[in-house]
C-alpha cells in the first residue's frame, strides 16, 4: 500500500498562543485512536515554532544558515503525518477528518503527497 505525507501548514503569526481546548483534544484523540487502530497512521507530530529552527541553504557551491523566525514566511509547516492508505482518495478522506477536528475559527491547510518509493 502506498504511503502519503500530509504536511500541515499554519499561519504561525496567527496561531493561537493558548492551549488547545479540551473539546479539540477529545476530537483529535478519538480520531488518532481510530486511524491508529485502522493501521493507517504510521507517524505524526507537531513541530516547534520557526523561532527555534534553522534553515540550511546550498547555493553557489556554499552553505548558509539562517536562524528563525523566518519573517518572510506567511505559512509554515506546523506538523506532519505519514499514513499508509489504499489510495490517494483514502489519504484525502483521513486528512479531511483531521482538518474538520480543528476549531472553526482556525485556518489549517494540509498538503497530501504520495511518498516516492525507491
Q: Where are the domains positioned within the chain?
A: 3-114
Q: Is the pLDDT of residue 13 over 90?
A: no
Any idea which fold 3-114 has?
Answer: Alpha-Beta Plaits (3.30.70)
% of residues, the chain, pLDDT over 70: 95
Q: Residue 62: is the preceding peptide bond cis (ω within 30°)?
A: no
In degrees and rounded to multiples of 5, residue 113 shows phi and psi of: -135, 140
Using alpha carbons only, what angle is made at residue 111 by residues 12 and 30, rounded to the nearest 5 degrees? 80
Pick the residue with more confidence: 44 or 16? 44
Average pLDDT on 37-53 reads 94
HSE (CB half, 13 Å, CA atoms) of 39? 4
Average pLDDT on 51-63 reads 95
At 11, is the pLDDT very low, low, confident or very high (cuts 50, 70, 90)? Answer: confident
- pLDDT of 26 reads 95
Q: Is the pLDDT of residue 19 over 80?
A: no
Mean pLDDT over all residues of the chain?
Answer: 91
* Structure-block grid coordinates of residue 89: 482518495
Using alpha carbons only, what angle is made at residue 5 by residues 107 and 106, rounded to the nearest 5 degrees? 10
Amino acid at each position: 500500500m502506498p504511503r502519503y505525507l500530509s504536511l500541515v501548514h499554519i499561519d504561525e503569526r496567527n496561531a493561537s498562543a493558548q492551549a488547545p481546548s479540551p473539546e479539540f483534544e477529545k476530537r483529535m484523540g478519538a480520531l488518532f485512536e481510530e486511524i491508529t487502530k485502522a493501521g493507517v497512521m504510521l507517524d505524526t507530530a507537531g513541530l516547534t515554532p520557526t523561532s527555534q529552527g534553522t534553515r540550511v541553504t546550498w547555493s553557489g557551491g556554499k552553505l548558509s544558515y539562517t536562524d528563525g523566525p523566518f519573517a518572510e514566511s506567511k505559512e509554515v509547516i506546523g506538523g506532519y503525518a505519514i499514513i499508509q492508505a489504499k489510495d490517494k482518495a483514502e489519504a484525502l478522506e483521513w486528512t479531511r477528518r483531521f482538518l474538520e477536528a480543528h476549531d472553526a475559527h482556525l485556518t489549517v491547510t494540509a498538503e497530501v503527497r504520495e511518498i516516492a518509493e525507491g
